[in-house]
């Protein structure tokens, strides 16, 4: 049985939650970009899957961590491919992580403000919520595309202040991306948690200085 993670719920008002790798299994995204996309790209250009993977990797690495890296409009234009349509082809892999629904209900029962805070593009969010019914659990949904910066970029949280009323001293932020957590830490978000295994099909992640959630039941102790 996993150990409870002590959370000062009485002094937390806002809970910011990432989507991919945090609430949803990152396996879908990794499979899509590392396996399915190279296959479809290879078919389009009549090249090998290996060559396709190499070309796509070069294109993604050049803008990694930027807003464009997460933008479906950018990739549809750059690759001249229907990314949303291709994602639907493997959408059966979209999965809510264990005990996420129970955790979201727990937050609601404690009257916390629950904010989905994701780098994902609006089209991605719409697609995933068509397969994973969790949208109604959030008080609001904010994507980095609304903010104008990716979550790992300097200035993100200051820009977020302009569209969301929150206090960094009574906020909890959960994300699987360590670069994103470091940016939040630098800004001063008081309560930060990482994810032990964002992709259920890959190895456990070393989260360094950040406490990592193995199962959301660890956070569901009585407030």
Task: Write the CATH number for 165.
Answer: 3.40.50.1000
What is the mean pLDDT of the segment spanning 115-125? 97
Torsion from C-alpha of 191, 136, 215, 107, nearest 10 degrees? 50
Same domain membership, residue 138 and residue 186: yes
Domain that holds residue 42: 28-92
So what's the pLDDT on residue 221? 76
Give the DSSP per-residue string, 13-40.
Answer: -EEEE-SBTTTB-THHHHHIIIIIHHHH
Same domain membership, residue 110 and residue 42: no
Residue 217 has pLDDT above 70, yes or no: yes
Same domain membership, residue 134 and residue 88: no
Gap between the Cα atoms of 15 and 35, Å rounded? 33
Residue 126 lies in a domain: yes
Residue 43 has pLDDT above 80, yes or no: yes
Helices (H), 96-175: 100-109, 122-129, 144-147, 156-160
Gap between the Cα atoms of 48 and 42, Å rounded? 6
Count of domains forming the chain: 2
> Which among 61, 92, 123 is the end of a domain?
92
pLDDT, tens digit, for every residue of 54-66?
999 999 998 998 9
What is the mean pLDDT of the segment spanning 104-133? 97
So what's the pLDDT on residue 207? 97
So what's the pLDDT on residue 2? 80
So what's the pLDDT on residue 95? 98
Question: Which position has the token pair 């099909």?
Answer: 201
So what's the pLDDT on residue 222? 57
pLDDT, tens digit, for every residue of 21-41?
999 999 999 999 999 999 999
Residue 47 has pLDDT above 90, yes or no: yes
pLDDT, tens digit, for every residue of 147-190?
999 999 999 999 999 999 999 999 999 999 999 999 999 999 99
Binning pLDDT at 50, 70 and 90, where does residue 1 land?
low
What is the mean pLDDT of the segment spanning 104-111? 97
Gap between the Cα atoms of 215 and 87, Å rounded? 27
Same domain membership, residue 83 and residue 181: no
């Amino acid at each position: 049985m996993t150990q409870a993670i002590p959370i000062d719920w009485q002094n937390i008002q806002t809970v910011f939650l990432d989507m991919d790798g945090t609430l949803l299994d990152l396996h879908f995204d990794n499979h899509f970009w590392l396996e399915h996309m190279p296959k479809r790209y290879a078919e389009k250009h009549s090249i090998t899957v290996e060559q396709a993977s190499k070309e796509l990797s070069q294109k993604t690495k050049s803008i990694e961590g930027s807003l464009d890296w997460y933008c479906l409009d950018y990739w549809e234009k750059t690759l001249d491919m229907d990314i949303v349509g291709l994602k639907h082809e493997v959408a059966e892999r979209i999965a809510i992580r264990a005990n996420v629904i129970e955790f979201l209900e727990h937050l609601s029962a404690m009257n916390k403000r629950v904010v989905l805070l994701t780098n994902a593009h609006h089209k991605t969010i719409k697609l995933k919520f068509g397969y994973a019914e969790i949208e109604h659990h959030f008080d609001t949904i904010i994507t980095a595309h609304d903010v104008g910066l990716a979550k790992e970029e300097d200035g993100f949280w200051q820009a977020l202040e302009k569209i969301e009323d929150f206090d960094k001293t009574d906020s909890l932020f959960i994300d699987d991306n360590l670069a994103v957590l470091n940016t939040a830490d630098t800004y001063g978000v008081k309560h930060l948690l990482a994810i032990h295994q964002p992709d259920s099909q890959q190895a456990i992640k070393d989260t360094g200085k950040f406490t990592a959630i193995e199962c959301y039941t660890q956070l569901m102790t009585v407030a």
